[in-house]
Structure 1
Amino acid sequence: MSKNGLLILITCVAALGGLLFGYDTGVINGTQFYFSKYFELDAAMKGWVVSSALIGCLVGALAAGPLTKNLGRKASLIIAATLFTISAAGSGLPEFLPQSVSLLVIFRIIGGLGIGLASMAAPTYIAEIAPADKRGKLVTFYQLAVVTGFFVVFLCTYFIGNNFTAEENVTTGWRWMFWSELIPCILFLGLTFFIPRSPRWLVLVGKEEEALKVLNRLHEKDAAQKEIDEIKFSLDKERKTQLKGSSILQKSVIPIIIIGSVLSLFQQFTGINAVLYYGGDIFEKALGYGQEDVLQQQILLGAVNFLFTFIAMFTVDKFGRKPLIYIGSIGMITGFVLLGGSLYLDAVGLVSLFGVLIFIAAFAMSMGPVTWVLLSEMFPNKIRSMAMSIAVAVQWGGNYLVSQTFPMIVESDANKIETGFWNGALPYVIFIVFIVFLIFFTKKYIIETKGRSLEQLEDMWEERYGKIE
């Protein structure tokens, strides 16, 4: 197998963590439509069950920093795969066992721990095995895997749901939807044992010879040795920093962490997961679709999400990160203007559906993959593990906030269709405001990372905020 082929194969295995991220978060869309009826949940409790996994995501992301540093990126991915498997098996406990809302929440939190860990470990691992000129494209494999997970789970929930009656889906079907995740869980768990360890982590723990072997398998010979030299130089600076104290509290470092964290927050405040988690409710309550059509419409969402991610994959290293954010932001605003406007004017129909699809397409080609690319490469080597862990934790915190409050805003008096002032449009107006802020934030604070090595980016940050010691 060629070096390029092997690099892609290893990237695909690591990116399975992203597929399970998408699958595990996407499965809640189809299942919540039915288990909410089974457990007779009100809006606040529905928000809690749906968003409970995000508590685990936040904790998992915070734990990912020390875990990936001390145990390695590969070992962290194996732990994440194990947590995914436990969650999938437990979330769909059969009726003859004492299933309850509390027990469901516990297993969802366990799955969230796996998501939080994988969401930091997988893109970090990919970024560290990839050559600089291919890093953007390869890291977008992770986001492609995420949207593939969403698409696959929407297909699975659709076919599972069609094999049960509406009543059977409320009692049994949603359990099988959760269990369907066991297949990719076991695949990920098995394949992860066969990928090499991160060369940067190997140098970090003193295994330079093994790291060189890994890079020689994946990079050209001269490029591999150059990469080793750059890693050693960076780690030498990092060790000197550690002798002086924690670099993460330096004045020159704090702004970088804040920028990464705010970028993560904006990714969630675009409203993407409100649409992906509550798509069933949006189609049924806001757009007037019947229950039999809800799962089918989710497939349409997943397909658009999947297809438009390819645009980002093939343009992120050509056009750059910031231009894609600008283009995608305009598209997301357009989509929500169509959806929110049609709701406000009581003109729900094809325009509303097009609005949802335009929003999904715009996010998939911009903030979806580009955020992960930027987070995997923007932080200086000295603080990458801890800084990315913090930024990803903030992202999950934002995800939790949106997921918990969305159904409450939808059902608030001000937003009630026909009787409320906003007539169902309020959530989308709020999301539009955040997307506008995202455009200005990107222009002022985000550094374009296209085509630059991780070490070059560190020098750029030092020029802007001062030397990182």
Structure 2
Amino acid sequence: MSKNGLLILVTSVAALGGLLFGYDTGVINGSQFYFTKYFELDSVMQGWVVSSALIGCFFGALLAGPSTRVIGRKITLIISAVLFTMSAWGSGLPEILPESIPLLVTFRILGGLGIGLASMAAPTYIAEIAPKDRRGILVTFYQLAIVTGFFVVFLATYFIGQNFTPTENIEVGWRWMFWSELIPCSLFLILTFFIPQSPRWLVLAGREDDALKVLNKLHEPEAAQREITEIKQSLQKEQSLEKKEVSIFQKSALAIIIIGSLLSLFQQLTGINAVLYYGSDIFEKALGFKQEDVLAQQILLAAVNFIFTFIAMFTVDKLGRKPLIIIGSFGMLLGFIMLGGSLYLNQVGLVSLIGVLMFIGSFAMSMGPVTWVLLSEMFPNKIRSIAMSIAVAVQWAGNYLVSQTFPIIANSEVNVEGPWNKSLPYFIFSICIILLILFTRKFIIETKGRSLEELEDIWAEKYGKIE
């Protein structure tokens, strides 16, 4: 196999963590439509069962920093695969204990821990094995895997749903939707044993020869030697300061961590996971689709998500990260204005559907993949693990906030019976998107075509050296 082929293969295996992220997010969309009716959940409990996995995601992201540093990116991915598998198997066990919502929540939290670990370890691993001129497109493999997971699971839940009557879906169909995740979980668990350790982690662990062997397998010899030299120089800078304790609260470090964390938070405040988690409810309650049609509509949503991700993949290293975010944000804003406006004016129809799809497509070409690219690039080596861990944890906290509150706001009297006519959540998200545009213009720096070590120097000039 060629070096390029091997690099893509290894990247694809690591990106399977993203596929399971997408699959797990998508499976809750189809399944919650039925288990909410099965358990007769009110809005608060519906939000809790759906968002409970995000508690695990939050703590998984916090643990990912020390885990990737101590035992390595590869072993962290293996652990996440084990947790994914346990969650997929256990989420259908209320078949045995039919009234056990706590059991379902427990296994959802385990899956969340796996997602939290993988959401930090996978893009970091990919960024650390990739040549700098191809890092953008390779890291977007992770986001492509996420949207592929969405697309595959929406197909799976649709066909599972079609094999049962509506009553059977409420009784048992949603359990098979959870168990369908066992197939990609098993594949990820097996394949992660065959990928190499991250060369940066190997150098950090004092295994420079092993790191060079990995780089020589993945890069051309000259590029591999240049990469190992840059890694060693970066670590030498760290070692020269090793007697000084690095505080994330020093001005230079804190500024970068806050910027990365706010970028993560804004990714969630766009409302993406309200649409992805509760899309079936939106199509049924807000847009008036019949119950038997909502799973089919999710396939359309997932297809748009999948197709537009390719736009990001093939432009992120050409247009750059910052322009994509701004262009995509204006698209998201227009999409939600179309959806919210049509609901507010009680003119639900084609414009509403186009608005939803425009929002999804715009997110898929911008904040979806570009956030992960920026987070994998922007943090200096000395604080990368802890900073990435914090930023991803903030992302999951924002995800939990949106997922828990969306059904409460969407089903509230002021939104349903009041003057908003079911449009309030989408105008709230629109305000957040406007703030995202302003934040990006002022605080995000362009990382296209720069090595991780070059970016460290740029941040040092802007906010001071981390000491």
TM-score, normalized by length of structure 1? 0.99
* Residues 179-219 of structure 1, C-alpha deviations (whole Å, 9 max, x = no match): 00000000000000000000000001111001000001111
The letter of the residue matching 2:6 is L
Matches within 5 A, 1:450-469: 450-469=448-467
Aligned-pair distance for 1:414? 1.4
Does the CA-based 8 Å contact 2:39-2:99 persist in structure 1?
Answer: no
Query: Quick check: 1:358 aligned with 2:358?
Result: yes
Aligned residue pairs total 467
1:224 Cα deviation (Å)? Answer: 0.7
Give the Cα separation in 2 of the matches to 1:275 and 1:425.
Answer: 13
Pairwise mapping of residues 174-193 of structure 1 onto structure 2 (< 5 A)? 174-193=174-193
TM superposition outliers: structure 1 runs of 4+ over 3 Å? 96-99
| Correspondence for 1:437 | 435
2:420 aligned with 1:422 = yes
Q: Is the 8 A contact 1:85 1:186 kept in 2?
A: yes
* Pairs within 5 Å for 1:163-242: 163-242=163-242
- Could you tell me how far 1:99 is from its partner in structure 2? 5.1
* Alpha-carbon RMSD: 0.8
Gaps of 5+ in 2: none
Alpha-carbon offset, residue 248 of structure 1: 2.1
User: Residue 333 of structure 2 aligns with which residue?
Assistant: 333
The Cα of 1:246 is off from its aligned counterpart by: 2.1
**Contact 2:334–2:359 (CA<8 Å) still a contact in 1?**
yes
Work out the CA distance in 1 between the residues paired with 2:145 and 2:270: 20
**Is 1:247–1:383's contact at 8 Å kept on the other side of the alignment?**
no
- Residue pair 1:266, 1:438 contacting (<8 A) in 2 also: yes
Kindly provide the amino acid, as one letter, of the partner of residue 140 in structure 1.
Answer: T
Task: Report the alpha carbon displacement of residue 232 of structure 1 after superposing the two structures with TM.
Answer: 1.0
Partner of 1:11: 11
Structure 1 residue 368: Cα displacement: 0.2
Q: Partners in 2 of 1:181 and 1:376 — Cα distance? A: 27
Write the mapping of 1:84-99 to structure 2, written as runs, cut at 5 A: 84-93=84-93, 95-97=95-97
* Counterpart AA for 2:362: A
Percent of paired sites with the same residue: 77
Q: Which moved more, 1:267-276 or 1:237-246?
A: 237-246
For residues 195-344 of structure 1, the aligned pairs below 5 Å read 195-344=195-344
C-alpha displacement at 1:240, in angstroms? 3.2
Cα pair 1:247 1:382 within 8 Å, conserved: no
Secondary structure, aligned partner of 1:15: helix
Give 1:237 deviation, angstroms: 1.8
CA contact (8 A) 2:91 2:104 kept: yes
Equivalent residue letter for 1:137? I
Per-residue deviation, 1:364: 0.2
Establish whether residue 69 from structure 1 lines up as the match of residue 101 from structure 2: no
State the match for 2:446 in structure 1: 448
Do 1:23 and 1:150's aligned partners in 2 also have CA atoms closer than 8 Å?
yes
Q: Distance in 1 between matches of 2:249 and 2:47?
A: 35
**Corresponding residue SS for 1:226:** helix
Q: How do residues 19-30 of structure 1 correspond to structure 2 at under 5 angstroms? A: 19-30=19-30
Per-residue CA distance 1:309-330 (angstroms, 9 max, x = gap): 0000000000000110111011
Q: Per-residue deviation at 1:250?
A: 1.9
2: CA distance, partners of 1:315 / 1:226: 26
Cα distance, 1:94 vs structure 2: 5.4
2: distance between equivalents of 1:449 and 1:210? Answer: 29
Q: Which amino acid aligns with 1:263?
A: L
Task: Indicate the residue corresponding to 1:39 in structure 2.
Answer: 39
Q: Which residue does 2:392 correspond to in 1?
A: 392
Letter of the 1:423 partner, please give it: N
Alignment of 1:402-413 (within 5 A): 402-413=402-413
Output the CA distance in 1 between the equivalents of 2:6 and 2:93. Answer: 39
TM-score by length of 2: 0.99
Residue equivalent to 1:162: 162
Within 1, Cα distance between the matches of 2:33 and 2:399?
19
Q: Which deviations, in whole Å up to 9, do the C-alpha atoms of 1:209-237 show, x marking residues without a partner?
A: 01000001111111111111111111122
Q: In structure 2, give the amino acid aligned to 1:21.
A: F
Aligned to 2:130: 130
Distance 1:69 1:410 in 2: 41
Rounded Cα–Cα distance in structure 1 between residues aligned with 2:117 and 2:4: 27
User: Which residue does the alignment assign to 2:101?
Assistant: 101
Quick one: which amino acid aligns to residue 346 of structure 1?
N
The one-letter code matched in structure 2 to 1:166 is P
